[in-house]
Amino acid sequence: MTQVDERSTTDGSRVAIDTVTSGRPWTEPLRSVYRAPWVAARRWREQGGRVVGLLGGCAPRELIMAAGMLPMRLRPAALDAEPPAPLPDGLARELTPSTAAVLAALWGGGLRWIDALLIGRDCEAHTKLFYVLRELAAERPDRLPPVAFSDMLRLPSRTSARYNRRRLADLRGVVGGWAERSISDAELVAAVADSARTAAALAALDELRIARRVSGADALLAAVAAQMLPGPAVREALAAAAGPPRTDVVPVFLTGSDLDDTHAYEAIEQAGAAIVGEDHGWGDDGREVAAATSDPLDGIVDRYQFSARRSARAGLERVVRTAERVRRSGARGVLQVIRPDDEASAWELPALRAALPDLPVHSVRLAQEDRPALREATAEILSTIGAIRV
């Protein structure tokens, strides 16, 4: 563990130098946690705090905050300073690359910087991971931290709403158990309010992005880091965000699979596009936040039940909301990026094209993290946009 921390610290310092030389010092703390979240987790824990790893954007972070713990959404590409030991071949095939990475880190001891794991039902791969962990824990309970699953349903029906409330109430008890205390309504209200302040800061950043004063890559960096750092630290960084407007780029909206890789964004933007908005599971334009409700659990449930982010288990109504966001962002084209483990996004393509008949909508399927394919797709869409302009 000590060895890991030393490497982590070294890695974090190198990140800081990179960002200073990039000329955007406001991104420095965001990039540090993006690249080496275990460093921030260690600091938090050294101060007596506890860290709960969140898998997915549907895991209700407000509960963790209300319990006084730090929710840190896990990036499968940044789980440990050391690469994890490979899983047995058959077990890796049971899972997606992302969930296999999480399991490998957990099973190999690389995720010891979290005190508990809360898995959200972003997709059925997460459900499968929960089942696999449960099965493995029955054999070796000492190798895993406490694990819970958040089963937030997405149909816009009263039956789902009532079920979600029961689940969230149960989860409140589980998280309270992790914190060794109960969670009060006042603490939930405070957590919701803090999340709202961070969301407002992200919404302000989104305006800068639409004005092309902040790149899509930096906006994604902020959105990812906001799911890892305490709210005040995120807001302090975002308060300094700004840059000169760029006029030499074409505004494009990104949809499809969850992307947490800023390099993928950079590949697209280096090809001449500016990603002025996205609706996948990592991006955050500040518009999805729990409302302040008399029973704070109501607002939290609504936030997750009616989220338009991520296509998995969503209906086609999501396409309508995507189209609205595309219009609002001023994008002149839409790029749909589909990763191999995404079974849902491809079904949206014809409906999305029908909803945006005047804009080019290009879809690219990635065999893996494939930046040349992203650049090529970007070139294609920019070419189409250019043809429309002519």
Partner 1 sequence: MSDASALRRRPELRCTAEISRYQRAWFAALRERVADGEPFAVLSADSPHEIYRAMDIPYVVVQWWSSLIAAKQLGPRYLSTLASAGYPDTLEQYNALPFGELLADDPGTAPWGGLPRPTILQGALSSDSMRQLYETWARRSGAAFYPLERSVDVRWKVEADWWEQLPEHWDEFLAAERLDLLTDELTGLIHSLERATGRRFDETSFAEAMRLSNEQARLNRGTRDLVARTVPAPVSAGETMPAVMIPQWHRGSGWARDAARLLNAEIRERVEEGVAAHPGERLRLMWLGRGLWSSLGLYQHFQERHDAVFVWSMYLGLAADGYLRSFDGGRDPLRALAARFVPVGEELRMPTWSSAWHLKEAKLHRIDGVVSLGEEDFFSVRRLEEAGIPVLSVRANNVDRRTWSEAELTDLVDRFIEERVWPARHERSA
Binding site for partner 1 (CB under 8 A): 88, 90-91, 93-94, 121, 123-124, 127-128, 130-132, 134-135, 137-138, 147-149, 151, 153, 155, 157, 159-160, 162-163, 166-167, 170, 311-316, 342-344, 346-351, 353
Between 116 and 179, CB nearer to partner 1: 116
Q: How far is CA 390 from CA 231, 306, 383, 384, 385, in A?
A: 46, 40, 11, 10, 9
Residues 6+ apart with CB under 8 A from 131: none
Between 242 and 364, CB nearer to partner 1: 364
CB of 192 to partner 1, least distance (A): 23
Q: Which helix (H) or strand (E) holds 120?
A: strand 116-120
Q: Which residue has the tokens 């990104």?
A: 254
Q: Which residue has the tokens 């109501």?
A: 298
Between 93 and 181, CB nearer to partner 1: 93
CB of 141 to partner 1, least distance (A): 10
Tokens representing residue 134 in the block: 């449960």
Whole-angstrom distance, CA of residue 103 vs CA of residue 93: 12
CB of 369 to partner 1, least distance (A): 20
Tokens representing residue 307 in the block: 């989220």
Q: Any bridge partners for residue 120, and if so which?
A: 150
CB of 149 to partner 1, least distance (A): 4
CB of 292 to partner 1, least distance (A): 26
Residue 343: helix, strand or coil by DSSP? Answer: coil
Between 133 and 234, CB nearer to partner 1: 133
Between 200 and 344, CB nearer to partner 1: 344
Q: Residues in the chain, how many?
A: 390
Between 13 and 157, CB nearer to partner 1: 157
Query: Nearest CA to 318 among 343, 284, 352, 289?
Result: 352
Supply angle C-alpha 191, 37, 18, rounded to 5: 120
